[in-house]
With several copies, the nearest count.
Chain A
Amino acid sequence: MADQPPLSLYVPEPAVRPGDTPDFSNVIIPKAGSVDRPPVDADPESLRDLAFSIIRVLNRKGEAVGPWAGLLTADELLEGLKHMMTLRAFDARMQTAQRQGKTSFYMQHMGEEAVSCAFRKALEPGDMNFPTYRQAGLLIAGGYPMVDMMNQIYSNEADPLKGRQLPIMYSSKEHGFFSISGNLGTQFVQAVGWAMASAIKNDTRIAAGWIGDGSTAESDFHAALVFASTYRAPVVLNIVNNQWAISTFQGIARGGAGTFAARGLGFGIPSLRVDGNDYLAVHAVAKWAVERARRNLGPTLVEYVTYRVGAHSTSDDPSAYRPKAESDAWPLGDPVLRLKNHLIKIGAWSDERHTQAEAEILDTVIAAQKEAEKHGTLHTGGKPSTRDMFEGVYEEMPPHLRRQRQQAGV
């Protein structure tokens, strides 16, 4: 091999870094309304193109166009707008509460509100989500009380999880929201198992798994696809591609594939990409995938193309690894603004009503916050007990834990 030029390692890098001008020219955005809407029982092979395009409904003029439009009434859209606005207001308050030392940690949804809020409305009672930490919209849109979310965030005496979990790692069986794990990816395959169980029991309920772009590299992602594909599990497998995994751009996880949705094709799983900042598109695609699952046609993989506008978490500062103005340049816009504009366009909404709604929502969030703070915040006021720490490791406390609890004097 003496005449062989040497090898070299390729390490992908984003097009721009702090100091550079944001550049999304490589992101190809098809026109709203331009992607077909095939029947849910179409041959997966025939759906291949859907993994490489982006399904969009709202165009630049705020109109809902194309075959994926027309599923929601103005009232339903208004409700969706309010859910997103609520989530945003909630995020802002909790982010501040964390800065004020009322809790240890927070993660916000800025820019991604449409994904979880719109998806939730495609589900039926009894269906189960296996969410990551960035889908609180499932709870907001699912009617879970905000004050309970805050109690959890504050780890206070009313925390439904007794102070055991990191803030925002909510859990509500009743609201179809599986206990969040801090370990990335693990729940993607559990969603498949839950869905298999529903099929084994000849139930009608379906499951939805959630994962981030970066986390698709984890092993659980593969196991989920293998099992979902083999047993045709009634599950919707959602990838939220918000372009970043902490400081790591999506090119590292995606490698040479054109898209994350493409991963599903190697398993014969119908795989769709959708504009994650378009409430109508998210909802329409979710409906389609949920119907496939419900009709026992098997799993669907959905990639939501969106952008993480805020920091990864309260422990992170993105200006260290990406241009400050990058989020402004993001070509799919802001989900709240886009839905607002659409509602104005169809005459169901106005700037004034929006401002008023904003104020009302803020009041509701503040009221919930006051209520929650009565029960304490992380370092002050009511807190879960030391006994709570020892309970619930097992259904029945075994002798060694009883001894330890005694030793702790509680």
Chain B
Amino acid sequence: MPRMTMIEAIRDALDVSMGRDEGVVVFGEDVGYFGGVFRCTAGLQQKYGRTRCFDAPISELGIVGTAIGMAAYGLKPCVEVQFADYVYPAYDQIVSEAARLRYRSNGQFTCPMVIRMPTGGGIFGGQTHSQSPEALFTHVSGLKVVEPSNPVDAKGLLIAAIEDPDPVIFLEPKRLYNGPFDGHHDQPVTPWSKHALGEVEAGHYTVPLGKAAVRREGSALTVLTYGTMVYVAEAAARETGIDAEIIDLRTLLPLDLDTITASVRKTGRCVVVHEATLTSGFGAELAALVQQHCFYNLEAPIARVTGWDTPYPHAQEWDYFPGPVRLGEAMREVME
């Protein structure tokens, strides 16, 4: 099987989708001739022509707004927002329009569209290249929210998202583009070519939206997480020796509650981990659900390990980032 980085897997998903369906169009800032600042769309304009893959003006509102019009027409736009930190100018179009179109028109008009955006920190990008805004989308009825943690899922989830009849926010943890970074920033990262989840099937396949994956089975406690934090959790489990069950949520909305509750009922303990700031982060929803559905199984309070409630700093990146040491401590506490 071909070995791919996450970037290559995303590009392959776009290629496969564009090849199968003429309605798939791809655009965004620097996405056309150049192929995207992270190279996720490299080669697509050459292969599919300038009217199916093109550069857009620097207007996230315009990119998403025109994509909504295209989706309503019947195309399947898959647009790129250069960094998730730059999605806010398009927020109104996403929340008030894309998410509501099917409902308010009673299905006459729909919005099958994907908005891809690199998310998360760990690259010394400062406050405008590091944000994790997923919780700002999980509160919006009508959206789906996906965040893969590896090349295999990235490809399969992206194809599924493009084929989905509803708008999907597709968050790509940029720190994972080239390898499964586990938070040990002072150590080299294994490339995807040496990781099992870097072996990506050629051609068309999907990973269904709404299904979590158990990355590590365990009996002592459940770690609920997604994106980069999956590897931080693996490292913390390794380093603490705690037999954690690590669940990679993959899709945040709609959520795979069954997998979550089955695990917590088994382990009786739960830690929720994300890079986004704590207050009103997606971890709040996870904790609220877990205590509701597994109350009588819980042996300790659910802990949240997250970014702090500050903007993402530049110099203090590793103080901010919830790495394996911080997570390990929380896991130990929950085990007490």
Contact present between A and B (CB < 8 A): yes
CB < 8 Å neighbour of B126 from A178, A182, A252 = A182
Give the chain A neighbours of B106 by CB distance below 8 A.
Answer: 160-162, 164, 171, 392
Q: Could you say which of A167, A193, A393 contacts B142, with CB atoms under 8 Å apart?
A: A393
Q: Which of A115-152 contact B (CB under 8 A)?
A: 128, 130
Selected interface stretch from A84-92, A241-249, A286-294, A357-365: A241-249
List B22-36 residues whose CB lies under 8 Å from chain A: 25, 29-30, 32-34
Identify the interface centre among B50, B59, B70, B316: most chain A CB within 10 Å of its CB: B59
With a cutoff of 8 Å between Cβ atoms, the chain B residues found around residue A252 in the complex are 55-57
- CA separation between A346 and B33, bound complex, in Å? 46
Chain A 326-372 residues near chain B, CB threshold 8 A: none
Among A165, A395, A408, the residue within 8 A (CB) of B102 is A395
Distance between Cα atoms of A248 and B128 in the complex (Å): 21
Q: CB within 8 A of B97: which of A183, A226, A385?
A: A183
Give the CA-CA distance A184 to B57 in the complex, in Å: 12
Query: CA–CA, A184 to B128, complex, Å?
Result: 10
Q: Once the chains bind, are A194 and B279 in contact (CB under 8 Å)?
A: no
A165: nearest chain-B partner, CB-CB: B104
Q: At the interface with chain B, which of A6-14, A30-38, A50-58?
A: A6-14
Q: Is residue A217 contacting chain B, with contact meaning CB distance below 8 A? A: yes
Residues of the A chain whose Cβ atoms lie less than 8 Å from the Cβ of B100? 181
Q: B177 an interface residue at 8 Å Cβ cutoff?
A: no
Provided the pairs A169-B126, A247-B33 are in contact, do residues A226 and B62 lie with their beta carbons within 8 angstroms? yes
A230 and B57 contacting across the interface, CB-CB below 8 Å: yes
* Assembly CA distance A404 to B89 (angstroms): 30
B68 on the A face (CB < 8 A): yes
A164-B311 CB under 8 A given contacts A200-B52, A223-B59, A386-B316: yes
B34: nearest residue on chain A (CB-CB)? Answer: A247
- Asked whether A191 and B69 contact (CB < 8 A) given A182-B129, A218-B59, A404-B308, the answer is yes
Min CB gap B175→A, angstroms: 14
- A17 at the B interface (CB under 8 A): yes
Contact A217 B311 (CB under 8 A): no
Among B65, B103, B126, B254, point to the contact of A193 (Cβ < 8 A).
B65
Tell me, yes or no, whether B189 is within 8 Å of chain A by CB. no
Q: Which residue of A lies closest to B277 (CB)?
A: A404
Instruction: List the A side residues contacting B104 at CB < 8 Å.
Output: 161, 164-165, 169, 171, 179, 181
B21 within 8 A of partner (CB) = no
Q: How far is the CB of B240 from chain A (nearest CB, A)?
A: 18
Let me know if A215 is at the binding interface, CB within 8 A: yes
Using A165-B104, A247-B30, A395-B165 as known contacts, say yes or no to A186 and B127 having CB atoms under 8 A apart: no
A90 to B74, CA, bound (A): 33
Shortest Cβ distance from residue B71 to the other chain A in the assembled complex, whole angstroms: 8
Q: Which of B30, B56, B102, B103 contacts A246 (CB 8 A)?
A: B30
Contacts of B51 in A (CB 8 A): 8-9, 11, 199-200
Docked pose: A167 CA to B317 CA in angstroms: 13
CB of A14 to closest CB in B, whole Å: 9
- Is B93 at the interface (CB under 8 A from chain A)? yes
Q: Give min CB distance, A79 to chain B, whole Å.
A: 27
CB distance from A147 to the nearest CB of B (A): 17
A9 to B255, CA, bound (A): 39
Complex contact B101–A179 (CB within 8 A)? yes
In the complex, whether B137 has a CB less than 8 A from a CB of chain A is no
* Interchain CB contact under 8 A, A190 and B65: yes
The reply to whether the CB of B191 lies closer than 8 angstroms to some CB of chain A is: no
Instruction: Write out, one digit per residue, whether chain B residues 230-260 have a CB within 8 A of any chain A CB (1) or not (0).
Output: 0000000000000000000000001101100
Contact, CB under 8 Å: A181 / B128: yes
Q: Which A residues are in CB contact (< 8 Å) with B25?
A: 197, 200
Query: Cβ of A389 and Cβ of B210 under 8 Å apart?
Result: no
Q: Give me 25 A-to-B residue pairs in the complex whose CB atoms sit less than 8 angstroms apart, sorted by A's number.
A: A9-B51, A161-B106, A162-B315, A164-B311, A164-B315, A171-B104, A171-B109, A179-B101, A179-B109, A183-B86, A186-B96, A194-B73, A197-B75, A201-B73, A217-B59, A218-B58, A218-B59, A220-B61, A245-B29, A245-B58, A246-B34, A248-B30, A315-B37, A392-B106, A408-B319
Extra contacts besides A105-B126, A186-B97, A252-B57 (9): CB < 8 Å: A11-B54, A130-B69, A164-B127, A197-B70, A223-B62, A226-B62, A248-B29, A320-B34, A388-B316
